[in-house]
Amino acid sequence: MEQNVTIQEGYARLKKTRALFIGGLLIALVILIGVAVTLGSADYTMAESYIAILAGLFPGRFTAPEMAEIIVWDYRLHRVLFAVCAGFGLAVAGSIMQGILRNPLASPFTLGIASAATTGASIAIVLGAGVVGGEYLVIGNAFLFALLAALAIYGMARYRGIGSETMVLAGIAIMYLFSAVTSLLQYVGSAEQLRAVVFWTFGSVDKSTWPKLAIVSLVLACTIPYLLYRAWDLNALAEGDEVAASLGVPVERSMILFMMIASLITAVIICFTGTIGFIGLVAPHITRMVIGGDFRTLIPASGLVGALLLLGADSIARSILAPQVLPVGIVTAFLGVPFFIYLFMHRRNA
């Protein structure tokens, strides 16, 4: 009797923690967005930035200082929203990867997707070759190669039997292959091209535009609800193949499907931003430490944590060396340091 009460109490407490956590995250995110749109080298007060936003939504009712509307709408707003979406997506992809690979240190890049996207970008930059011409040359290539990597994982895993170990091994092979190709292209390219490739690998939200934001939002809007719908299956898979199978989850098909969805989300984000690391690793890990690994809440919560982390990193990137804008990937790389130190100091046998 007593034990039941304790378990029920414990679960109620957990539910309350989750609700508070997610609620708190939402509030923090809204506040951070509110602060981030006022950051920038153009000298506007906070009030002027908001007036500029309102002036864009209700022209005629509000008049903003000259240029403010253009600067806020064309250079700040979509960047902030893009950072939110990108952070959300990378975190969700990371949580999926950590689930199906049963490795809390997995990330969206564990399966070599980042290396593949970099190779695609390098081919576009150095050789000028790609599937989509014009301004989407690099983006198209990066996306294509990222998906190619995912398909290669699928192919290799299917050949040897689909399981988390085979996927990780295949991922490592893919990563080395594409890194080698990228290095070769960097050597062959001119100094200018090399610079362009390196810049791409830093990862930045600089190049965001409203259409790109729309694309990423669309992909997220289509995939996240489906993932939430299948959250129980993810929970089962995270427990182990046999457990999942015994619960009636089509293990192999599900693992592949989730892997492809996570790869798709990652690909569509990094093809626009370059490789932004650590968000996909740190965000789900932190979230799991607070509210546990139930994917029904893990997915949205880690998404919010990821959005907060990336937006925070981007805000730092824009302010720390003002007027220079640091690539956000560099700031997130530094994020990894305190995180791993923390893990190192607080190692628990989980």
Partner 1 sequence: MKPIPILALALLLVLAVPASASTGGGIVGDADGDGVLTSAEYASATLAYLDAAYMGGTGVLDRTDIQDAAWVYTYWDGRPLTITDSSGKTMTLYRPLRRVVTFSGESLETLRSLGFDMEKVVAVDKYSHEKKTFFPECQGKANVGSVWSPDMERVLSVRPDAVFLYATISVSACDDIQKRLEASSPNIRVFRFDCFKPATYAGEIRTIASMIGRKDRGEEFASFYESTMDRIRDGTAGVPDGEKTRVYFEYWYDYTTVSAGSGYNEKIGLAGGVNPFSVGTTEYPTVDPEAILLADPEVVVKLAGQGLAVGGYAGHDPEALGAIRSTLIERPGWSSISAVKDGRVYVIHSDILGGAQHFIGTAYLAKWFYPDRFADLDPHAIHQRYLTEFQGIDFDLASKGTFVYP
Confirm or reject binding of residue 40 to partner 1 (CB under 8 A).
Answer: yes
Reading the block at residue 239, the tokens are: 């427990």
Confirm or reject binding of residue 77 to partner 1 (CB under 8 A).
Answer: yes
Stretch of residues binding partner 1 (CB under 8 A), selected from 20-28, 214-222, 259-267, 277-285:
214-222
Confirm or reject binding of residue 234 to partner 1 (CB under 8 A).
Answer: no
**Using alpha carbons only, what angle is made at residue 80 by residues 75 and 83, rounded to the nearest 5 degrees?**
125
CB atoms within 10 A of CB 124: 26
Of 314, 336, 337, residue with least CA distance to 326: 314
Asked if residues 76 and 37 have their Cβ atoms less than 8 Å apart, the reply is yes
Nearest approach, Cβ of residue 225 and partner 1 (Å): 12
Kindly report whether the peptide bond that precedes residue 323 is cis, defined as omega within 30 degrees of 0: yes
Nearest approach, Cβ of residue 74 and partner 1 (Å): 4
How far are the Cα atoms of 177, 208, 251 from residue 86, in angstroms, in the given order? 26, 11, 29
Confirm or reject binding of residue 67 to partner 1 (CB under 8 A).
Answer: yes
Confirm or reject binding of residue 57 to partner 1 (CB under 8 A).
Answer: yes
Nearest approach, Cβ of residue 82 and partner 1 (Å): 9
Confirm or reject binding of residue 221 to partner 1 (CB under 8 A).
Answer: yes
Q: Which of 161, 324, 346, 348 binds partner 1 (CB under 8 A)?
A: 324
Cβ closer to partner 1: 9 or 192?
192
Answer left, alpha or beta for residue 39, where phi above 0 means left and psi between -120 and 50 means alpha: beta
- Provide the H-helix boundaries in the chain: 2-36, 46-57, 68-71, 78-100, 113-122, 137-160, 164-188, 191-202, 210-229, 231-239, 241-246, 251-273, 279-291, 295-319, 328-345
Nearest approach, Cβ of residue 292 and partner 1 (Å): 26
Confirm or reject binding of residue 226 to partner 1 (CB under 8 A).
Answer: no
Confirm or reject binding of residue 217 to partner 1 (CB under 8 A).
Answer: yes
* CB environment 305-329: b (16+ within 10 A), e (fewer): bbbbbbbbbbbbbbeeeeeebbbbb
The site for partner 1, by CB under 8 A, has a size of 43
Q: Rounded to whole angstroms, how far apart are CA atoms 76 and 56?
A: 13
Cβ closer to partner 1: 20 or 218?
218
Q: Which of 6, 8, 41, 246 binds partner 1 (CB under 8 A)?
A: 41
Reading the block at residue 249, the tokens are: 């989850």
Confirm or reject binding of residue 314 to partner 1 (CB under 8 A).
Answer: no
Nearest approach, Cβ of residue 238 and partner 1 (Å): 27
Asked if residues 105 and 281 have their Cβ atoms less than 8 Å apart, the reply is yes
Confirm or reject binding of residue 71 to partner 1 (CB under 8 A).
Answer: yes
CB atoms within 10 A of CB 54: 15
Stretch of residues binding partner 1 (CB under 8 A), selected from 109-117, 192-200, 270-278, 279-287:
192-200
List of residues contacting partner 1 (CB under 8 A): 40-43, 56-57, 59, 66-67, 69-71, 73-78, 81, 85, 125, 135, 187-188, 190-192, 195-196, 199, 207, 209-211, 213-214, 217-218, 220-221, 323-325
